[in-house]
Amino acid sequence: MSFEIAVLPDPESLALAAADEFARSAADAIRKRRLFRVALSGGSTPRALYRRLTRPPYRGAIAWDRVRFFWGDERCVPPDSERSNYRMARKALLDPLGIPPRHVFRMKGEEEPEAAARAYEQTLRRHAGGFARLDLVLLGLGEDGHTASLFPGTAALDPGRRLVAVNYVAKFSEWRITLTCGALNAARRIVFVVSGTEKARAAARILQKGPGWRELPASAVCPRRGSLLWLLDQAAASKL
Contact between 4 and 14 (Cβ < 8 Å): no
Of 34, 42, 95, 45, nearest to 68 (Cα)?
34
Supply the minimum distance, in Å, between the C-beta of residue 31 and ligand 6PG: 29
Peptide bond into 57 cis (omega under 30): yes
Supply the minimum distance, in Å, between the C-beta of residue 34 and ligand 6PG: 28
Which positions lie near ligand 6PG, rule CB under 6 A? 41-45, 72-73, 85, 140-142, 146-149
Q: Which residue is nearest to ligand 6PG (CB)?
A: 140
Supply the minimum distance, in Å, between the C-beta of residue 176 and ligand 6PG: 7
DSSP of 219-231, one letter per residue?
GG---TTSEEEEE
CA distance 13 to 230: 14
Q: Is 41 or 219 the residue whose CB approaches ligand 6PG more closely?
A: 41
Give the largest Cα separation in the chain, rounded: 46
CA distance 227 to 240: 21
Q: Is 16 or 27 the residue whose CB approaches ligand 6PG more closely?
A: 16
Q: Is 7 or 169 the residue whose CB approaches ligand 6PG more closely?
A: 169
Q: Is 113 or 140 the residue whose CB approaches ligand 6PG more closely?
A: 140
Q: Is 7 or 14 the residue whose CB approaches ligand 6PG more closely?
A: 14
Report in angstroms the alpha-carbon separations of 237 from 16, 63, 146, 196, 227: 17, 33, 17, 8, 20
Supply the minimum distance, in Å, between the C-beta of residue 47 and ligand 6PG: 8
Supply the minimum distance, in Å, between the C-beta of residue 112 and ligand 6PG: 19
Q: Is 26 or 39 the residue whose CB approaches ligand 6PG more closely?
A: 39
> Within 10 A of 49 (CB to CB), how many other CB atoms are there?
26
Supply the minimum distance, in Å, between the C-beta of residue 33 and ligand 6PG: 26
Beta-bridge partner residues of 6: 231
